[in-house]
Amino acid sequence: MATMDYAVADAIATITLNRPERMNTISREMLGELCASLIRANEDPEVRVVILTGTGRAFCAGLDLNEASAGDGIGGGNNRFPATLDLRNTPPTVLFEMDKPVICALNGSAAGYGMDLALGCDIRIMAEEAKLAAAFVKRGVVPESGGTWFLPRMLGWAKAAEIIFTGRTLSAADCLTEGLANKVVPAADVAAEARAMALEIAANAPLAVTSAKRMMRMGLDESFQTHVQHVYLQLLPLFASDDFKEGIASFLEKRPAAFNGR
């Protein structure tokens, strides 16, 4: 059985972790498959939004510790540490640099690597029973795939420190209160809610949406003065696009816009 499913419909690419018998824990093989799926979605001109989800009762319970304990998986004792480190083609880096919006549909809980993966998405919709488990320090490691970068920016230093240093588990209600989840819904409704939001995003001008995401990402490390200069430069090609003309025309004609992404 494939450990990763990829499907496109209505301009939405859905990437599904499909290892339910192992709670979608990530094997070494799955890292490459996930990375390839994210790149495929980002480069496909027919895709406007990406949904990342899982099958079974968990979204992703982290890295496969059984493989690691056997010495063959990620972090296993038989692995040699590389003399140089190249993380350009790893899922957290690829996910962060994607221009397409990514919605994480948390069908169940996410722990460790799975939590970092969820935090790397733009929007999170959680099942009521789902949890985010920052269990890294309880396993003798750190949030290795973005958590130490995301959480202080999302929650502030003190709250992020509390969660990371204690290895705390957050309920879906906690995540909603802290702003880590956009919506919390019954488990049976997670896929439909994610799709509804994806369709709402996909109905907008794709060039503008991807540009907005790119500007938001760049703005994380820029001064205001530098950022507004970059935004202005990003606006110039948008003004010349078919989508801009269609956006104005549809507004004046009081009809839904039909954007073509050009």
Which pLDDT band, with edges at 50, 70 and 90, does 158 fall under?
A: very high
What's the pLDDT at 234?
A: 93
Which pLDDT band, with edges at 50, 70 and 90, does 67 fall under?
A: low
For residue 230, the SS3 value is helix
What's the pLDDT at 75?
A: 54
70 has a pLDDT exceeding 70: no
What's the pLDDT at 91?
A: 86
What's the pLDDT at 241?
A: 96
Q: What's the Rg (C-alpha) of the chain?
A: 19
How do beta strands 123-127 and 12-17 pair?
unpaired
* Sign of the alpha-carbon dihedral angle for 139, 141, 144, 146: positive
For the stretch 12-29, pLDDT in tens is 999 999 999 999 999 988
Which pLDDT band, with edges at 50, 70 and 90, does 59 fall under?
A: very high
Tell me 76's DSSP state.
Answer: -
| Closest CA relative to residue 230, chosen from 244, 247, 211 | 211
**Least confident range of 29-38, 68-77, 231-240, 247-256:** 68-77
What's the pLDDT at 177?
A: 96
- Helices 147-155, 157-166: axis angle to 10 degrees equals 140
For the stretch 94-106, pLDDT in tens is 999 999 999 999 9
100, burial (CB in 10 Å: exposed 0-12, middle 13-18, buried 19+): buried
Cα separation, 124 vs 11, whole angstroms: 19
Mean pLDDT value of segment 235-245:
95
Domain ranges of the chain: 4-202, 206-252
CA angle 48, 50, 52 (to 5 degrees): 175
72 has a pLDDT exceeding 80: no
What's the pLDDT at 145?
A: 84
40 has a pLDDT exceeding 80: yes
Which pLDDT band, with edges at 50, 70 and 90, does 143 fall under?
A: confident
Which pair of structure tokens corresponds to residue 243? 């989508």
169 has a pLDDT exceeding 90: yes
CA dihedral 113, 219, 202, 59 (to 10 degrees): 10
Which pLDDT band, with edges at 50, 70 and 90, does 90 fall under?
A: confident
Which pLDDT band, with edges at 50, 70 and 90, does 136 fall under?
A: confident
157 has a pLDDT exceeding 90: yes
215, burial (CB in 10 Å: exposed 0-12, middle 13-18, buried 19+): middle
For domain 4-202, which architecture applies?
Alpha-Beta Complex (3.90)
Which pLDDT band, with edges at 50, 70 and 90, does 142 fall under?
A: confident
What's the pLDDT at 220?
A: 92
For tokens 């929650």, the residue is 155
